[in-house]
Chain A
Amino acid sequence: MANIYVANRQIVKPGDLLAEGDDVTAGSYTYKVGSKVYGTVIGLAEVKENAVSIIPLEGIVVPREGDLVIGVVVGVGITNWFIDIRAPYKAVLNASEAVEQFNPLTDDIRKYLDVGDYILAKILIFDRSRGPVLTTKAKGLGKIVEGVVVDVKPSRVPRIVGKKKTMLEALTSSTNCNITVAVNGRIWIKCPNSLLEDIVIRAIRKIESEAHIPGLTDRIRKFIEDEKRRVGIR
C-alpha cells in the first residue's frame, strides 16, 4: 500500500510530499508525519522499494567518527593543534596523536605542524558534548607535503566518489593521478605532471556543477579523453 510519488534521481525540494503509506521508511533528509513522508532539503530523490531518501545538493556535512577529513591548521596550543575541517565545530589534534613521544618541555610543537599546513586525518572521537578530536596515527595520514588540495561543496562528495567508486576510478585510471577524497569536501590530488593535474581539477569542477544530471560518469570519461588529446598527452 506504499505510494511513492517521486522518481529515482528526481530533484526534490523541502516540503515535497515524497511518499505515503504506513510501511514506507523515511531515509536520510526526509521525515514522516503520520503516514506521509516529506523532503527536508533540495536534492535528488533516491527511491528503493518502500524506502525514500534524499541525496542533498547543498549544505554542510557534519563528519562522524572514523571519517577521513582534510584539515587546515588554524591554531597552535602547547600540546595540540586547532584544525579547521569545514564543519561548524573546530577540531583538535593532540600532539600525542601525531608525534611519538612528544615532550612540550624540550620539543617545539611548531616543528611538526604550523598554522596553514594541510593534514589528512581521521576523526577519532566526536560526540555531542565535545568538538571532534583527530588522529594522524595510521598509514597515509599526516601532513600533506605534495600535490594540491581543492575545495568542493561537501554535498558533492558522494558524486565525486560515485557508486562503487566508479567516478573516482574514471578520474584516476586515465590520468595516473592519486586522488584522496575527504568527506568534508576537500580533495587531495597528486599527479605525475601539472597538465594532468589541471585536467583532473577541471573534471572535478564539472562534476560539482552537473551533479544532478544523469550520465555524468560517461561524460567525465569523455571529457578527460578529449582534454588529454587537446593538450597532447596520450
Chain B
Amino acid sequence: MSSRPTLIGENGLRHDHRRPDELRPIKMEVGVLKNADGSALVEFGNTKVIAAVYGPREPPAKYMLSPEKAIVRCRYHMAPFSTIERKSPAPSRREIELSKVIREALESAIFTELFPRSAIDIFIEVLQADGGTRTAGLTAASLALADAGVPMRDLIAAVAVGKVDGVIVLDIDEVEDEYGEADMPIGIMPSINQVVLLQLNGVMTREEFDIAMDLAMKGVSEIYRLQKEALSKKYMLYTEE
C-alpha cells in the first residue's frame, strides 16, 4: 500500500468532509424506464444504480415454477464502465453472491404467495460504483417493485455503516471501504422494523456493533423518507397540471 489516505481528519470530519453520521447526497427517481413494469434510479453520492422490475409474468421455463408462490429472480450486475478500471461484463463470483443476498432480502418483503406459478424479474445495474452499491441496489429494487405495483410488506431502505480509523461512520464510500476496518451493509423494512439484510466484513466489538446498528437505523429512516417522497413525486406531476 503506497499511501493510505487520512480517513478521519483532525477536525473529526471524513475524507469527503462529511460528519461520521452524515449520509452522502441522495437522489431518487421512479419510473425512469418505459419498457419495464417498474423502475427506479438511485444515487448515493457518486454511486449510481438503476433497477428494473418485470412481472409477475410467465417465466421462460416451466421447471422453475413453484405451485405455491411467485419465484423471484434477481440479477445484480456492474456495468463494465462503472469502475475506474474496466470490469469484465461477465457475472463475477461477487455479483452472483450479491444477487442471491438481494433476492432473499426482497423475497421477505414481497407477498409472493399472491402470484403462484409466476415469476418476478428484478434487474439491478450499477452504472457507477463508489461504495455501497448493494445497499443502493436494494433501495432501488424495492422502489422499482413499488412502482410496478407488486404488493409488499414495506419498502426496503438499505445503507452501509462501517468503522474507519476506529470511528463508526454512516454510508461508507469506496475509499473508506478499502482502507477502513469494517463494512456492514444493512437492509431494513422501517415501518415494521425488520432486518432483511445484514452483512459484516471486518471486525467490530459488540459495543461498536450496537452503535453501528443505531447509526444505520438513523440513516435508514432518512432514506425511507426519500423513497416515499420519490414515489409520491410520480403522481404529483399530474396533479399540478
A residues in contact (CB < 8 Å) with B: 11, 13-17, 29, 31, 33, 38, 40-42, 56-60, 62, 88-90, 128-129, 155, 209-210, 212-213
A89 and B152 in contact (CB under 8 A), knowing A16-B191, A210-B238? no
Is the CB of B202 closer than 8 A to any CB of chain A? no
Residue of A nearest to B190 (CB): A15
Nearest CB on B from A181, distance (A): 19
Nearest 5 A-B pairs (CB), nearest first? A59-B149, A58-B149, A15-B154, A88-B118, A40-B151
**Chain B contacts of A128 at CB under 8 A?**
67, 116-117
Tell me which of A13, A40, A59 contacts B231 (CB under 8 A).
A13
Is the CB of B148 closer than 8 A to any CB of chain A? yes
Give the interface centre of A15, A59, A128 by most chain B CB atoms within 10 Å.
A15
Asked if B189 and A15 make an inter-chain contact with CB atoms under 8 angstroms apart, the answer reads: yes
For B, the interface residue count at a CB cutoff of 8 angstroms equals 35
Is the CB of B153 closer than 8 A to any CB of chain A? yes
Q: Is the interface of A mostly helix, strand, loop or mixed?
A: loop
Residue of A nearest to B55 (CB): A88
B residues in contact (CB < 8 Å) with A: 37-38, 55-58, 67, 70, 111, 114-119, 146-155, 189-192, 228, 231-232, 235, 238-239
Q: How far is the CA of A90 from the CA of B57 in the complex (A)?
A: 10
**Chain A contacts of B146 at CB under 8 A?**
13-14, 41-42, 58
**Chain A contacts of B116 at CB under 8 A?**
128
Asked if A59 and B189 make an inter-chain contact with CB atoms under 8 angstroms apart, the answer reads: no
**Chain A contacts of B228 at CB under 8 A?**
13, 16
Given contacts A38-B191, A58-B38, A88-B58, could you give 9 more A-B pairs where the C-beta distance is less than 8 Å?
A: A13-B228, A15-B189, A17-B191, A31-B111, A38-B153, A42-B231, A88-B115, A89-B117, A209-B238
Asked if A88 and B238 make an inter-chain contact with CB atoms under 8 angstroms apart, the answer reads: no
A14 and B117 in contact (CB under 8 A), knowing A58-B147, A128-B67? no
**Chain B contacts of A212 at CB under 8 A?**
235, 238-239
